[in-house]
């Protein structure tokens, strides 16, 4: 694990956005297209703001979420709505959003339709992950109903997930799909998440799902 501590959040968000932009540019130059897999939640907004102001051939960038809460886009908990508001705007308006939600009652009913387009983005070029203080990442929550499958080598690309720590059903990329990424970044802030990261390093993946990604990740942290 590579760990970077920043003097403050603003510097971190800017620096990380610039790193990601550089990695996407390299992928576009070498492969012609790039895939960029991102978390929802409350932390990454400022990174998205900076990225949306970066000149890049965004039309050739496929943007997809790590996971989605199974709520319509009109909900304030919709990660898709967050992306549309903060990332797919400005210079990034024409980035290609690969959907992770369908207007059907359960994630199980949406999975099959969503799968082919998500699979077409693999291997991922750039993966940005968040982490909760319970050491979940994407919707790989400790205690989740399908966590064992979600972490296994036999996992499908997408799974429905229900967990005590998640207020609504989720859909998530499996660890196997997420781990295809060439570059992996984990973005965390504050003392509680730093302490959780330290704990995660001593626990197994079922207890601390984020630990599945630590060996390949750069963790970015600011108070
Ligand atoms: O939909 C989600 O909730 C996310 O994709 C999730 O994995 C998130 O990254 C962590 O829960 C951290 O969330 P915060 O940034 O809000 O702490």
Q: What is the pLDDT of residues 17-39, one digit of tens each?
A: 999 999 999 999 999 999 999 99
Q: Do 75 and 81 meet the contact criterion of CB atoms below 8 Å apart?
A: yes
Q: Is 134 touching ligand 1 by the criterion CB < 6 Å? A: no
Provide the pLDDT confidence category of residue 165 given band limits of 50, 70 and 90: confident
Above pLDDT 70, what percent of the chain? 100
Tell which residue, 170, 24, 37, has the closest CA to residue 97. 37
Q: Where are the alpha helices (DSSP H) in the chain?
A: 9-31, 45-51, 79-86, 107-119, 147-151, 175-178, 190-200
Above pLDDT 90, what percent of the chain? 100
Give the atom of ligand 1 at the shortest distance from the alpha carbon of 139.
7
Tell which residue, 125, 124, 129, 119, has the closest CA to residue 212. 129
Model pTM score? 0.98
| CATH class, 2-222 region | alpha beta
Instruction: Give the C-alpha separation, 43 to 75, whole Å.
Output: 18
ipTM of the complex model: 0.97
- Supply the pLDDT for residue 168: 97
Omega prior to 123 cis, within 30 of 0: yes
- Supply the pLDDT for residue 112: 96
- Supply the pLDDT for residue 62: 98
Pocket residue to mutate for ligand 1, from 41, 77, 81, most atoms within 8 A of Cβ: 41
At which residue do the structure tokens 């501590």 appear? 5
- Supply the pLDDT for residue 162: 98
Give the atom of ligand 1 at the shortest distance from the alpha carbon of 67.
5
Span 176-204, pLDDT tens digits: 999 999 999 999 999 999 999 999 999 99
Dihedral class, residue 106 (left if φ above 0, else alpha if ψ from -120 to 50, else beta): beta
Domain boundaries defined on the chain: 2-222
Pocket residue to mutate for ligand 1, from 130, 150, 190, 217, most atoms within 8 A of Cβ: 130
pLDDT at 146 exceeding the cut of 90: yes
Span 81-137, pLDDT tens digits: 999 999 999 999 999 999 999 999 999 999 999 999 999 999 999 999 999 999 999
Give the atom of ligand 1 at the shortest distance from the alpha carbon of 42.
16
């Amino acid at each position: 694990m590579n760990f970077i501590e920043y003097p403050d959040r603003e510097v971190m968000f800017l620096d990380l956005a610039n790193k990601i932009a550089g990695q996407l540019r390299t992928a576009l130059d070498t492969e012609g297209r790039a895939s960029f897999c991102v978390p929802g939640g409350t932390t990454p907004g400022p990174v998205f703001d900076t990225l949306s102001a970066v000149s890049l051939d965004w039309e050739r960038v496929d943007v997809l979420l790590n996971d989605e809460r199974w709520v319509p886009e009109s909900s304030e908990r919709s990660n898709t709505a967050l992306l549309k508001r903060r990332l797919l705007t400005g210079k990034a308006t024409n980035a290609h959003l690969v959907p992770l939600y369908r207007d059907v009652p359960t994630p199980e009913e949406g999975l099959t339709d969503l799968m082919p387009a998500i699979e077409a983005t693999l291997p991922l070029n750039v993966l940005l992950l968040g982490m909760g203080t319970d050491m979940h990442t994407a919707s790989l929550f400790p205690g989740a109903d399908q966590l064992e499958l979600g972490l296994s080598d036999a996992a499908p690309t997408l799974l429905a997930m229900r967990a005590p720590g998640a207020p609504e059903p989720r859909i998530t990329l499996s660890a196997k799909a997420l781990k295809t990424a060439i570059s992996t970044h984990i973005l965390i802030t504050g003392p509680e998440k730093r302490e959780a990261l330290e704990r995660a390093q001593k626990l197994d993946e079922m207890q601390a799902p984020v630990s599945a990604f630590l060996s390949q990740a750069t963790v970015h942290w600011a108070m």
